[in-house]
Amino acid sequence: MKTYIKVMITGILASAVIVFFIFYDFNKQEKEAAGDYEKEQAKNENVQAVDIAVQDYLLPLENSKKRLTPISHVMLHFTSNVAENPKDPYLMEDIYTIFEDYGVSAHYAIDREGVIYRLVAENRVAFHAGTGSLQDFPAYEDNLNDYSIGIELLAIGSKEEMNEFIDEATYDSLDPSLIGYTDAQYAAVERLLDMLHEQYPEIERNREYVVGHDEYAPDRKSDPGILFDWSRIGY
């Protein structure tokens, strides 16, 4: 009986030692993986800090959700407050309030002087694409938010593109300098895209992966529109 008990105790101790080392090894691997992730994040932050200036102007968390899927696309938009303030439609505070009130968002906004604002962190999904589809990516139908970075440029499109927001008389009264895109915006969006391509190799440098809202949802969206010159940013 004593021998049997001794064998049992020895077996229990041996099992405990095995479990300990399994747990220790798993915990070690987990810490190493976390460390690698933190290093990668730090590297990305350093790339951004060195190569591009971004001002944080973060929307409330309710205007986004946690990202659980890889980033493979970028979508460009235009936005303004021309319907409410046609004389001064590009106040960033107004744009922020519109996004906040309507529960929508984008990761970045670029003002007329080329200042880049971060509205949503890239590790969160912004609500910018809505329903739509891309011919070569059927799995993304009505779901491109989850796989993309959204960039808003503060701009006003053509008269036809803007007719859902303002009437013809209001459009004709606009200062011509408010219509279309500025040189500073083209330079800023090019820098921002260079950074995103470097950080997310899945975003290929072509027009299948960098798209306009009007391509994803042509029946309901017109941005960035015919006034946006894609060749100015190398696409």
Domain assignments of the chain as residue spans, ordered by start: 1-51, 53-233
Cis peptide upstream of residue 201 (ω within 30 degrees of 0): no
* C-alpha closest to that of 149 among 96, 71, 78: 71
The whole-number pLDDT of residue 42 equals 41
The residues, ordered by sequence, that sit 6+ positions from 189 with a Cβ below 8 Å of its Cβ are 76, 110, 151, 153, 233
Residue 201 identity: P
Q: What is the Cα–Cα distance from 50 to 37, expressed in whole angstroms?
A: 20
Q: What is the Cα–Cα distance from 216 to 76, expressed in whole angstroms?
A: 10
Residue 165 identity: F
The whole-number pLDDT of residue 73 equals 98
Give yes or no for a contact between 134 and 216, defined as CB atoms under 8 angstroms apart. yes
pLDDT, tens digit (0-9, with 9 covering 90-100), for 185-234: 999 999 999 999 999 999 999 999 999 999 999 999 999 999 999 999 99
The whole-number pLDDT of residue 51 equals 67
- Average pLDDT per block of 10 residues along the chain, 235 residues long: 41 39 39 39 41 94 97 98 98 98 98 98 98 96 98 98 97 98 98 97 97 97 98 96
Residues with catalytic function: 152
Backbone angles phi, psi at 126, to 5 degrees: -90, 155
Domain 53-233 has CATH 3.30.428.10: no
The whole-number pLDDT of residue 84 equals 97
Backbone angles phi, psi at 211, to 5 degrees: -130, 165
Give yes or no for a contact between 85 and 72, defined as CB atoms under 8 angstroms apart. no
The whole-number pLDDT of residue 30 equals 39
Alpha carbon separation from 110 to 68, 107, 117, 185, 224 (Å, rounded): 26, 10, 6, 6, 13
The whole-number pLDDT of residue 192 equals 98
Residue 100 identity: E
End-to-end CA distance of the chain: 82
The whole-number pLDDT of residue 209 equals 98
* C-alpha closest to that of 234 among 193, 201, 184: 193
Residue 221 identity: K
The whole-number pLDDT of residue 3 equals 46
Token pair belonging to 97: 């309030």
* C-alpha closest to that of 153 among 63, 80, 58, 91: 80
